Amino acid sequence: MHRTLTVAALLSLAACTVERTPDDVLNPRDPSQVERRDAEQDVAIHVNAFLQALARGDRGQAVSAMSPLVDTYVMGVDGNEGRPRFGADGLAAAIAELEIPANSLPRTPDLRVQADPRRGTAWFAGFVEMFPASGGQPERVRMSGVFGRQEGEWRLMQIHISRPEAPPAPVAAPDSAATARDSSASNPDSVSAAAPPAGE
């Protein structure tokens, strides 16, 4: 009986797929990993607070949530005719271009945040959907940006907001026979070249 159980256990282990344990699980107290994780959580809090304020229609609070610098570079969905915008006023102008429904529900299915605390930099990127609470079409935008840490606080240094482009409509493949007929009709010389007159 004991031998049967041992063999069964070995067969079960042979069928398992062993994956490498992540470093942060092996060393949960590694100071550098803890610092990176904390930094990424801090930046994610800024971004989520920004989106929640936008969803409430509170643009002033949305700007404050990102803590922009005076020279923060801002690119909005309309491009501002190619002229850059800067700082809190630039961010306020950029988000004013968005058509966010009142009392909307924000969704960020692919928000990514990465930080390098030693250099004091972090970046985020993601697709944002703002769904109207009453139903209807959401406002969809792409956002990406860079944060820098100054005096222990993460401050927005650059942000880019754009609307995702709709995929182009499929184009049917041209009919080769129709194309040949159209070409012959528009070029009479091609007929004589293909079939020379009799008697030559």
Convert the pLDDT of each residue in 155-173 to its tens digit. 999 999 998 875 555 555 5
How far, CA to CA in Å, does 54 sit from each of 36, 103, 115, 180, 187?
27, 9, 24, 57, 61
* E strand or H helix at 85: strand 85-86
pLDDT of residue 164: 81
Q: Which residues of the chain have pLDDT under 70?
A: 1-29, 166-200
Taking alpha carbons only, the member of 80, 75, 93 closest to residue 157 is: 75
Query: Which tokens belong to 89?
Result: 């006023």
95: left (phi over 0), alpha (psi -120 to 50) or beta: alpha
pLDDT of residue 26: 45
Taking alpha carbons only, the member of 108, 115, 71 closest to residue 91 is: 71
pLDDT of residue 20: 42
Return d(Cα 181, Cα 198) in angstroms, integer. Answer: 23
Return d(Cα 57, Cα 70) in angstroms, integer. Answer: 23
pLDDT of residue 16: 44
pLDDT of residue 138: 82
Task: Provide the strand spans (E) within 87-138.
Answer: 104-107, 112-116, 121-132
pLDDT of residue 196: 47
- Determine the residue type at 138: P
pLDDT of residue 149: 95
3-class DSSP assignment, residue 133: coil
pLDDT of residue 139: 86
pLDDT of residue 1: 52
Q: Name residue 149's beta-bridge partners.
A: 154
* E strand or H helix at 145: strand 139-150
120 Cβ contact partners less than 8 Å away, ≥ 6 residues apart:
148, 149, 150
- What value, to the nearest 5°, has the Cα angle with vertex 28 and ends 22 and 29? 145
- Tell me if the pTM is above 0.75: no
pLDDT of residue 22: 52
The total of other beta-carbon atoms located within 10 Å of residue 198's CB is 5
- Spell out the domains of the chain, with CATH numbers in brackets: 27-162 (3.10.450.50)
pLDDT of residue 64: 96
